[in-house]
Structure 1
Amino acid sequence: MKTVIVSFLVIIALSVFADEEICQRDQRHLEICRNSEVITRVIHPENYDYVILDCYSNTTVGPNAFKNLNTWELQFVFVEQEPPLMLSISPGSFAGIDYIFHLHIQYANITYTGNPWSDLARINEFKCEGCAFTKIPTDILSSLPNLEKLILDNNRIEVCPENAFIALNKLKYLDLSGENGMTLESGCFNGLEKLQELKINSNSFNLNPGVFNTFNNLPNLNMMGSFEDGVTLSDVFRTFPSLNDFALLHSNLTLEPEIFSGAQSLRQLRLLRNNITNIPKNVFQNLSSLALLNLGENSITTIEPGAFSGMKVFSLVISSIPTLQVIETGTFENLSVDLLNLSHCNISVIKPQAFNGLNASWVDLENNTLTSIGPEDFAGMQTEILILAKNDLTEIAPDAFKKSTMKQLVLPARLLATANKTTWGLPESVILTSDE
């Protein structure tokens, strides 16, 4: 794949015409012709997959500037972000560029006259990152009916109005991530029946009634921010019974019984940084299709025994939670998992039989504050690898691992030198390694 990165710095001055048009050529023979801040022509002798234009000042695109540019993707990257520089587009600016399917604009304040976007009707991906939009650019989008991917991240959009994307009935991916709170009005997603992934990260959400009613089958939903006006997670799952990938970050979330009752199709559930304090018993019992559950970086203080009972998942992540500290008896009973990650949780106490009934490939307790392992702490656990590295361990009780099964035990280096498999109840076949 060939990529050309073009800087509007003078490299080789080819010619100066009477109208002060100056053409520049880079080392790959791509020519940029400008008249002051106006791009008049972009010419190259070969076909390139990407053309990236680094802009260091306000830039205007003249008529037919890209007429001879046979490339799949055109990018405008404005290097100075504060204050945003201007990208001015006029009718005919994109005339004649039949081969471009992806248009990316980064950190530009876009102005235009007439409808220059009609010449881009065939593109299927439009990304406008940090373009200072304060509202959905519906007039631009109405000229891009073949879009399958639309990214409007890092803008200043506060309201997503009814029929904002009505012209984009082929859209499969939509990203509305921004730093402002966002109101999603009823009917704002009308016309997006083919959407496969929706990303609406914001500081907060005001979801008007029926805002998601457009979607009969939305597999992937990624939200970052807090819900307003009494909207609950249960409301979201009832709306999307076929959802298989859901992420919610930076909200204030309380896990209650039946919260996931409408989410039987979920395969990936990521609930990071939501100020969750308690994991109740059987809260995940309806998620029979779940493969990944990530509860990291919350404020969990208690995990009720049986919280994960009956689950069979590939990965369960409960990491980077310094408030956890204690693992109660029966916490992981009847859980089957490939990777159980409990690292960086400030765990200092493991109650007897906390892992009884656990069947895992990896159990990671690295970087906690354990000082001792009692005789029943890991009783009833079956795993391939148990990681106790980077703890403050000074004592492992006799027969501490007699009632557990494992193939490899990873210890702090200071314990490895005095390790005694027989005393700890380990078969000689178990491999002992250290964190160094």
Structure 2
Amino acid sequence: MHAMKVFATAIALVTAWCATAVHAGELEVLHFWDVGDDARAVNVLKSTLQRQGHTWKDFAVTADANGFPLFLLRSRVQSGNPPAAAQVKAPVIQQWAREGALANLDATARAGQWDAVLPRVVSDAMKYKGSYVAVPANIHRVNWLWINMRILKRANAQVPVTWDDFFAAAGAMKRAGYIAVTHGGQPWQDFLLFENVVLGVGGPEFYRKAFVALDPGALAGPVMEQALQTFRRIKPYTDVAAMGRNWNVAASRLANGEAGMQFMGDWAKPIFQTAQRRGSLEFACVPAPGTAKSYAYTVDSFALFKVNSPAKTRAQQDFAADLLAPGVQEEFNLVKGSIPVRQGVDLTKFDRCAKQSAAAFEAASRGGTLVPSISMALPPAVEDAMREAVSAYWHDDRITARATMQRLVAAARRP
């Protein structure tokens, strides 16, 4: 009898293994999360998928490679060999959906009640003609100012709320012998800083006119000129050696006590948290000057491409379902520095900045002051042209605000 039980158990295990093997598939994922805390966040997703018997294949590229990842993705899709998933922003999702390249996720979305658990601005961005074609991972707040509080206190300065406050604090830090603003002079970082300045100077309604509606009157008017002048005023408070510096290297200068402030999304927060745990940093997270009631967001998301095997399709659908499971949302976002995109996730384990971010997102949603980061709002060609114009203005003092505004208007007209 005992032998029969052993034999039956063995048969059951083999049957279960065969069932898993039949449905197990490979998920090749194009993403930018190849180092540091980003890589740790990816490992959360990998291990979740692997527990279901699937195989994760990295197609990792450098986030600062400008248009190269999208060019490489297009080459793969046109050759009939797309990755199963690709980390892209909302405008790119729409482009691929229009071309008929993306898989339909409606069955998975219905099972997971995505319409009920996702904020409307996010679910709309993941859909094409009413059907889900992509899955979101998180919400990052872009309009953060990070402050080394020990430097602020040594400089006898106050936490800034307005731009006048900011320049007073920056001046005090510089006089005290510190780099007031740590910055990496890469074009995307210049542009991110500029987004924050425009939102702080012009407010959410103006920001939407300029960077969502592409209103030429907003792009070349007096408020934009004021924003450009404010943007340039920040430069003397940055490190002259900032050109080409990666954002995480810039963040480490705040973490190690060399610099007082940084404008950066909350993907920088894990660096500061690590330094805080070591006892070498006391930091504050506050909205960028003038943006206390606004929330500029970006969403990391994965478009899922049509693949040619049932096993790969199963891996895709499992990946999409996994990503929005409450436990994965908690674990992934705790590592990533962002907040869960799924509403209702328990935030007990999250830090004060994340809780502040979640409350601010909800308040901005209700108050009409929620705005998309430019990468969430504009096609890549328009965003790239605007980024080049703003970065050139930052790095070359001979370029005038008026000339830059004309370049912004011209960029908005790109097809």
Structure having the larger proportion of residues in strand: 1
Larger Rg belongs to:
1
Structure having the larger proportion of residues in helix: 2
The TM-score with structure 2 as length reference comes to: 0.21
Greater relative contact order (Cα < 8 A, sep 6+): 2
